[in-house]
């Protein structure tokens, strides 16, 4: 497996190309950190962009949803799909309005999704979804029953055509603006877990496990 994705006409970064990145490890690290992807597709001459959860298993992106979902039914038919994931790392405040920006890491994936029909593969995918969100959770919870499996559609999207775009660092102002008496810099942002809140119907004597109490992203 190549360490980099081969750029294609669809994944080539045309706007500020120096921010483009095709390194497989970098792209996978962004996918592994995110929670939500946005799935773009066209059905019946109408374009949709739907946010949903996902997980990565090796060189495959997994998406799941209700078997009654319009998105899942259309994607299972093998139509073209574009999936994006974006992480916001900071607000970039420049000396001019024009040069304000955001530090971010994003991934764009193109391809055709396939329906996961084998029950064991489906369970493995649901395991991957759960562990992607909260590692060590699967071993403590009830696994999906037959009815729940039938009500859930799982799709796999091969990670073959993908690219990342990343912005880091300070604002970039016009030379003359550096003399202005205006604060400039970056406000860092991050996802931070707070103290877990017990379910109102939690049985007495059950405390949050270490992987919940000490959860970090």
Report the pLDDT averaged over residues 123-147: 96
Which residue from 14, 186, 28, 13 is spatially nearest to 103, judged by alpha carbons?
A: 186
Q: Give the confidence band of 122 by pLDDT, cuts at 50, 70, 90.
A: very high
pLDDT of residue 217: 84
pLDDT of 80 above 80: yes
Give, in degrees to the nearest 5, the angle at Cα 197 between 194 and 199.
155
Share of the chain above pLDDT 90, in %: 97
Tokens encoding 82: 């574009």
Unique residue bearing structure tokens 């084998």: 118
Other beta carbons less than 10 A from residue 110's beta carbon: 17
- Number of domains the chain is built from: 1
What is the band of 166 on the pLDDT scale with cuts at 50, 70, 90? very high
Q: What dihedral angle (degrees, nearest 10) is formed by the CA atoms of 172, 18, 111, 156?
A: -70
Task: Give me the CATH number covering residue 47.
Answer: 2.30.110.10
pLDDT of residue 2: 84
Q: Does a structural domain hold residue 155? A: yes
Among residues 8, 191, 181, 193, which one has the least CA distance to residue 109? 8
In a domain, 135, yes or no: yes
- Rounded mean pLDDT of the chain? 96
Confidence of residue 33 (pLDDT cuts 50, 70, 90): very high
Distances (CA, A) of 104 to 87, 91, 109, 168, 211: 6, 9, 17, 7, 27
pLDDT reported for residue 175: 97
Residue 174 pLDDT: 97
pLDDT value, residue 176: 97
Cα–Cα distance, 205 to 115 (Å, whole number): 42
Write out pLDDT tens, residues 83-100. Answer: 999 999 999 999 999 999
- Give the pLDDT score at 27: 98
Its pTM surpasses 0.85 = yes
Angstrom CA distances, 18 to 12, 22, 43, 121, 172, stand at 11, 11, 34, 39, 14
Of residues 102, 154, 101, the one with CA closest to residue 126:
154
Judge whether residue 172 has pLDDT over 80. yes
Please tell me the predicted confidence (pLDDT) of residue 170: 98
pLDDT reported for residue 92 = 98
- Asked whether residue 180 is domain-assigned, the answer is yes
- Is 28 within a domain? yes
Residue 6 falls within a domain, yes or no?
no
Write down the pLDDT at residue 146: 93
Q: Is residue 3 part of a domain?
A: no
Q: Which domain holds residue 198?
A: 17-213
User: Does 1 fall in a domain?
Assistant: no
Residue 91 · residue 169 · CB < 8 Å: no
- Any domain includes 9: no
């Amino acid at each position: 497996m190549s360490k980099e994705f081969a750029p294609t006409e669809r994944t080539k970064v045309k706007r500020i190309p120096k921010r483009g990145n095709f390194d497989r490890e970098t792209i996978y690290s962004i996918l592994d950190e995110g929670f939500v992807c946005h799935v773009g597709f066209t059905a019946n001459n109408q374009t949709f962009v739907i946010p949903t959860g996902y997980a990565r298993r090796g060189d495959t992106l997994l998406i799941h949803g209700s078997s009654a979902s319009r998105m899942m039914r259309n994607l299972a038919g093998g139509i073209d799909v574009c999936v994006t994931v974006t992480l916001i790392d900071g607000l970039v405040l420049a000396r001019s309005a024009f040069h304000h920006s955001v530090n971010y890491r994003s991934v764009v994936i193109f391809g055709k999704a396939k329906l996961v029909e084998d029950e064991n593969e489906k369970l493995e995918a649901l395991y991957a979804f759960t562990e992607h969100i909260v590692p060590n959770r699967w071993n403590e919870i009830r696994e999906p029953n037959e009815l729940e499996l039938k009500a859930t559609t799982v799709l796999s999207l091969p990670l073959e055509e993908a690219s990342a775009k990343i912005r880091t660092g300070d604002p970039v102002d016009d030379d003359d603006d550096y003399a202005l008496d205006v604060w400039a810099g970056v406000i860092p942002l991050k996802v931070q877990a707070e103290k877990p809140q017990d379910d109102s119907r939690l049985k007495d004597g059950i405390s949050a496990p270490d992987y919940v109490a000490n959860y970090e992203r």
